Amino acid sequence: MALHLTLSRRACLAAGVSALLALAGCDKLSPTPKTAFSGVDITGAEYAQKLALPDPDGKLRTLDEFKGKVVVVFFGFTQCPDVCPTTMAELAEVKRSLGADGDKVQGVFVSVDPERDTPELLKAYVTNFDPSFVALRGTPEETKAVAREFKVFYSKVPGKTEGSYTVDHTAGSYLFDPQGKVRLFTRYGSGAQSLASDIKALIAGA
């Protein structure tokens, strides 16, 4: 009986020590809480990895050259009546609102209408929102390839007059962190405040 009690006490003591150790190490074992982004968190996505297109001056631009900044990539066209100018205006507003940290934000506008978006037109278009914004324009084939890489939809829609058209396209932006990794997809209409919050978080290292 004495032996039984001794073993029982030892077992209880061992269980108690184990419990204390488990509690003491709880903070170390618990995963770090994820940042609550406003946009859709796509961290680790296998798409939206490559972007290499010429700018209006004919210089090939890639995402790698913007490392160290939060890059916001948007696909659109200069004759877009609402979604495109609204998105670019909001991004410019966010960049200005960040003060000195605004220099850590890079806007990239990819044309889905290379037939009408001439280099001159594209340069004037993005500069109108912010001089630092970059416009990219490829051939129709290159545009299709990049859109496929980013899972972006776009399609011509005939206009009211012969030969005229508009372009339906994905209305959202991709955000890349300063390490060049795709992190978020922000839907059109989320607003400048939500975009600013996400960009601040990425600048801070979230």
pLDDT class of 176 with cuts at 50, 70, 90:
very high
Measure Cα distances from 162 to 88, 155, 157 in Å. 30, 17, 12
d(CA 176, CA 197): 14
- pTM of structure: 0.83
Measure Cα distances from 68 to 49, 97, 111, 131, 176 in Å. 16, 19, 24, 19, 10
Known binding residue 84? Answer is yes
pLDDT tens for each residue of 23-55: 344 344 444 457 789 999 999 999 999 999 999
Nearest to 52 by CA among 173, 178, 150, 136: 136
Which tokens is 35 given? 């940042």
Which tokens is 30 given? 């618990």
d(CA 168, CA 188): 13
Q: Which residues, 6 or more positions from 104, have their beta carbon under 8 angstroms from its beta carbon?
A: 68, 69, 70, 98, 178, 203
Class of domain 40-203: alpha beta
pLDDT tens for each residue of 84-138: 999 999 999 999 999 999 999 999 999 999 999 999 999 999 999 999 999 999 9
Known binding residue 12? Answer is no
The residue whose two tokens read 């990539």 is 73
